[in-house]
Amino acid sequence: MNAVADARPDVRDALGRPLRDLRLSVIEACNFRCPYCMPAEQVADDYGLDAASRLSFDEMETLVRGFVQAGVTKLRLTGGEPLLRKRLPELIARLAAIEGLADIALTTNGSLLAPLASALRQAGLHRVTVSLDALDPALFKELSGGRGEVADVLKGIEAAQAAGFAPIKLNCVVQRGINEGEVLPLVEFARSHGHIIRFIEYMDVGTCNGWRRERVVPSAELRDRIHARWPLQPLGAQYRGEVASRYGFADGRGEVGFVSSVSEPFCGDCHRARVSADGRLYTCLFAAKGHDLRPVLSLGQEAVGRHLAERWSRRSDRYSELRGSAKAQRKHVEMYLVGG
């Protein structure tokens, strides 16, 4: 860690958790309509295409500088679909120049990645995560709300690898009775191409995806299924607050991760803030509403940093630990607004 990072205040929330990660949505629009996130029958085709409400690149840079001042070292750009944001490599180049930011990653559905991968790499993006819920073309299309072609995503992954991103992470949300049959083929695909696949439990994010607990496939069950085919051994966390629990294949050919927000909540180590494309701060993925940061952005990065430190110190969110209890919040921000 460099001198800037060392000099930063040790901001803690009300439960003693530092602020380390920022997930910044660069656009609220998406070209897919995955039913677990943005169901087509609930979200209009032209949703989020009005650019007027989005933060500008200047505002995003000030915002990220303020977050770095408050303790953030890792940034993930997301959406909606972040590759729909025009001139994204230009934004990345500006953010990559911020001292104290050790890591910049991007989460994408991959459909538009092929023509952009090399420009993203050259701009200074460190890592790419591609969401991939199925390899079967018909099922993939269905899971994208009839919008996506798996072939385009596979081309995007290939282009990212050719551009020098390594390893590439693949995210798969598994739903009972829907894409369980894709799990082993996806592991095989990841292993044979040197990618890291992570299985994410289907979460009760937002209010429009009709979440039912019966649709959740607990990570332990998936881990057992994968272990029966390719024996696994647990790997330690690479850093405190790592969201996925990691397992290596006993034959040495890569690793797999599990994000178990429903079956094994990890709120105690949650160091992550989220900001929507219109500049609202969410201190939990399941928060009901955000806090508008726009007014403070015009005051400059130092003011933003102080403001964030003050807001963070009041944070006490731990929704996943309260899920199902009377204390748990019923209304949640939509996933496509905060990007995962």
Write out the residues near ligand SAM by the rule CB under 6 A: 30, 36-37, 78-79, 81, 107-109, 131, 171, 173, 200, 202-203, 205, 209, 335-336, 339-340
- First-to-last CA distance in the chain? 27
Question: Residue from 11, 22, 24, 37 that binds ligand SF4 (CB under 6 A)?
Answer: 37
As given in the structure block, the two tokens for residue 159 are 């282009």
For the bound state, the minimum distance from the C-beta of residue 98 to ligand SF4, rounded and expressed in Å, comes to 24
Q: Is residue 9 reached through a cis peptide bond, with omega within 30 degrees of 0 on the bond before it?
A: no
Q: Which does 256 bind (CB under 5 to 8 A by kind): ligand SF4, ligand SAM, none?
A: none
Q: Does residue 336 interact with ligand SF4 by CB under 6 A?
A: yes
Nearer to ligand SF4, 113 or 284 (CB): 284
Q: Does residue 267 interact with ligand SF4 by CB under 6 A?
A: yes
As given in the structure block, the two tokens for residue 157 are 């992954």
Q: Does residue 211 interact with ligand SF4 by CB under 6 A?
A: no
Sheet holding 74-78, edge to edge: 232-234, 245-249, 255-259, 196-201, 169-174, 127-131, 103-108, 74-78, 21-25, 272-275, 280-282, 291-292
For the bound state, the minimum distance from the C-beta of residue 334 to ligand SAM, rounded and expressed in Å, comes to 9
Name 306's Cβ contacts closer than 8 Å, sequence gap at least 6.
none
As given in the structure block, the two tokens for residue 291 are 């806090």
For the bound state, the minimum distance from the C-beta of residue 239 to ligand SAM, rounded and expressed in Å, comes to 20
Q: Does residue 80 interact with ligand SF4 by CB under 6 A?
A: yes
d(CA 144, CA 70) in angstroms, rounded, equals 37
Q: Phi, psi at residue 273, to the nearest 5°? A: -110, 155
Nearer to ligand SAM, 273 or 309 (CB): 273
Q: Which residues bind ligand SF4 (CB under 6 A)?
A: 30, 32-34, 37-38, 79-81, 109, 131, 261, 266-267, 270, 284-286, 317-320, 336
